[in-house]
Structure 1
Amino acid sequence: MRIFVLSGQSNMAGRGGVHHRHWDGVVPPECAPDPRILRLSATLQWEEAREPLHADIDATKTCGVGPGMAFAHGVLPRLDAPGPGAEAGLGLVPCAVGGTAIREWARGERLYEQMIVRSRAAAECGEIQAVLWYQGESDAESDHATAVYRENVEKLINNVREDLGMPQLPFIQVALASGNKRNIEKVRSAQFSVNLLNVVTVDAMGLPLNEDHLHLSTGAQVKLGEMLAEAYINKFLEPPC
C-alpha cells in the first residue's frame, strides 16, 4: 500500500461544505469512496476512506470535504499494482487539526508526536510516499511567528524525516490562500523560499473560499486535491527526462 500523510490545520482537515458549524453532507464524485482507498482511523485501524476524512482526528470541530480524497483519486490510477491481477492500494493518514500554529507541530509537542506515531503505525502496512502539508493561517496572525515561519517549517520537515528514518521523504506543501492581510504574503514568501530536497509547493491562492473568507469551498478542495496529485505525479512518479 502506498501511504500519504495529511497534516497541517483546518484547510487540510477540510471545511468544504461547512456552513455555520454544520457540514452539508455533499460529497463530490471526485471524493467518493473507493475500496482501494483506505484511511487510518484515530484508533490506528485501517478502514475504507470516506469524507470527512478528519472527523475523528480534528474531533472538536466540524469537518467537511478536504483535499485528501480528490488527491487519492488523482494518484491511484498512476500507481503500479503489486502483482499480476492485483490492484494498487492507497492509504491516507489524517493528522491535521484546525486552528494550530506551527509551534504546536514542533518535535516533542503532542500534535507532532501523534503524527509520528500514526505515520509509523501506517508504515507497518506499506511505504510512506509523501507528506501533504497545509498550514500557516494561524502563524499569519503573529508578526513573530511570520518572521520565523520558514525556519520552523524547514525544521519540521527535517525532524519528520529524521524520526521516520526517511531522509528524502517528499513533502508537498500548500501556499496559503487566506489569512491575516498584514502577514499572509510574508508567510507565502516563506513557504516558497523553503529550499530543501524533495519539497514541492502548490499554490492555493485564488481558489474559492467559503463565506468565512478563510476556508476553501468544496469545489476548491477538489481542485486543490487534483493539484496536489499532479504535483506528486510530475515530481515523484514521472521518470526523469
Structure 2
Amino acid sequence: MDLSNSIESNEAHPTKQIFILSGQSNMAGRGGVKHRHWDGVVPPECSPDASKIFRLSSHLRWEVAREPLHHDIDAKKTCGVGPGMPFANAAKERVGVIGLVPCAVGGTAIKEWARGTELYESMVKRAKAAAHGGGGEIKAVLWYQGESDTSSQHDVDCYKESMERLIENVRADLDLPSLPVIQVALASGGEKYIEKIREIQKGIELPNVVCVDAKGLQLNEDNLHLSTEAQIQLGHMLAQAYLTHFLG
C-alpha cells in the first residue's frame, strides 16, 4: 500500500503517540445527541489543544482534534461527545503529543470487524497511515463494542473467540505483537445477554489487554448511549488504565 501521498507533510506536526479509537457508537460518541441532533456542548475536559491533540481525518490528514471526533468516520449517524478527547486531555501531560485515529462505526457487531471486512481493513489502513513517514508510534487500541452482540445466545457463543482473534489480527497486521488493547465492558445493551458479554469482556486474558468497566455510567434517554458526563468519566478511566498499565 502506497501511503506516500496519503499524509500531508509531517513538518507541520510533531511526532505523535498514536491511539486507535474503535468499536461502535459509544466509542464514536453520542454524548449530547438527542433526536439525531448534537447539542454542540463541549465541556472543558473535551476542549481542543492545537499543540498537543490531533486527529486523523477520513482523508488521512492530521488536523487539530475537536468534538465530534468521529463526524466524518461514523458519517451516517449523528456524532457527539465521545471518550477520545477527555482521554487525550487527561493523558497528554504524561504522554506528550497525541494522535487520535477515529475508526468506530455505530451499530456494528463483532463479526463486522473480522479480518477482510471493510471496517477492519479501514482500521488497519488508517493506523498504518497515521504512523507512516515518522508520523508517530502506535501506542494502544481503545475498544468499545459489544452492544450489537447482546441479542442472541449465538452471538454470545462467538464473541470471545472473535474478540481474541481481532486482537491477534490487528497486532499481526500492524507488526506490533505486544500492542496494548484497552477494552470497555458494556454499560448497556440487550438485557437478556448483556451480562454474558460483559463477563467475556472482563475475562479476556491475552497479554497487554486490560478492561475498564462502564457499568453504572449515566446513559442518555435512549438507555443505550453514554451521556456527555459519562463519556468524560470513561475517557478519564481509559487514560488512567493506560497510564497505570502501559506507561512505566
Q: Same fold (TM over 0.5)?
A: yes
1:142 Cα deviation (Å)? 2.3
Q: Where does residue 214 of structure 1 map in the other structure?
A: 224
1:89 Cα deviation (Å)? 1.2
Q: Where does residue 17 of structure 1 map in the other structure?
A: 32
1:164 Cα deviation (Å)? 0.2
**Rounded Cα–Cα distance in structure 2 between residues aligned with 1:45 and 1:118:** 10
Q: Where does residue 149 of structure 1 map in the other structure?
A: 159
SS state at 1:173 partner: strand
**Rounded Cα–Cα distance in structure 2 between residues aligned with 1:192 and 1:18:** 28
Amino acid in structure 2 at the alignment position of 1:44: L
- The C-alpha deviation readout for 1:192-216, integer Å capped at 9, x for no partner, is 1111000000000000000000000
Amino acid in structure 2 at the alignment position of 1:55: H
Q: Where does residue 6 of structure 1 map in the other structure?
A: 21
**Rounded Cα–Cα distance in structure 2 between residues aligned with 1:136 and 1:204:** 12
Q: Where does residue 203 of structure 2 map in the other structure?
A: 193
Q: Which runs of 4+ in 1 moved over 3 A?
A: none
* Higher mean displacement: 142-151 or 34-43: 142-151
**Rounded Cα–Cα distance in structure 2 between residues aligned with 1:89 and 1:135:** 26
Amino acid in structure 1 at the alignment position of 2:20: V
Q: Where does residue 85 of structure 1 map in the other structure?
A: none
5+ residue gaps, structure 2, are: 1-15
TM-score by length of 2: 0.92
1:102 Cα deviation (Å)? 0.4
**Rounded Cα–Cα distance in structure 1 between residues aligned with 2:47 and 2:152:** 38
1:148 Cα deviation (Å)? 1.4
Q: Where does residue 131 of structure 2 map in the other structure?
A: 123
Pair 1:101 & 2:109 matched:
yes
TM-score by length of 1: 0.95
**Rounded Cα–Cα distance in structure 2 between residues aligned with 1:191 and 1:230:** 18
Amino acid in structure 2 at the alignment position of 1:213: N
Pair 1:230 & 2:246 matched:
no
- The C-alpha deviation readout for 1:9-66, integer Å capped at 9, x for no partner, is 0000000000010000000100000011000000000000000000000000000000
1:133 Cα deviation (Å)? 0.2
**Rounded Cα–Cα distance in structure 2 between residues aligned with 1:29 and 1:161:** 34
Amino acid in structure 2 at the alignment position of 1:158: E
Query: Map of 1:29-178 to 2, 5 A cutoff?
Result: 29-35=44-50, 36-79=52-95, 88-124=96-132, 125-178=135-188
Amino acid in structure 2 at the alignment position of 1:11: N
Q: Where does residue 82 of structure 1 map in the other structure?
A: none
1:123 Cα deviation (Å)? 1.0
Amino acid in structure 1 at the alignment position of 2:213: D
5+ residue gaps, structure 1, are: 80-87
**Rounded Cα–Cα distance in structure 1 between residues aligned with 2:216 and 2:128:** 35
**Rounded Cα–Cα distance in structure 2 between residues aligned with 1:219 and 1:17:** 9
Q: Where does residue 83 of structure 1 map in the other structure?
A: none
Amino acid in structure 2 at the alignment position of 1:116: V
SS state at 2:150 partner: helix
**Rounded Cα–Cα distance in structure 2 between residues aligned with 1:90 and 1:186:** 34
**Rounded Cα–Cα distance in structure 1 between residues aligned with 2:77 and 2:107:** 10
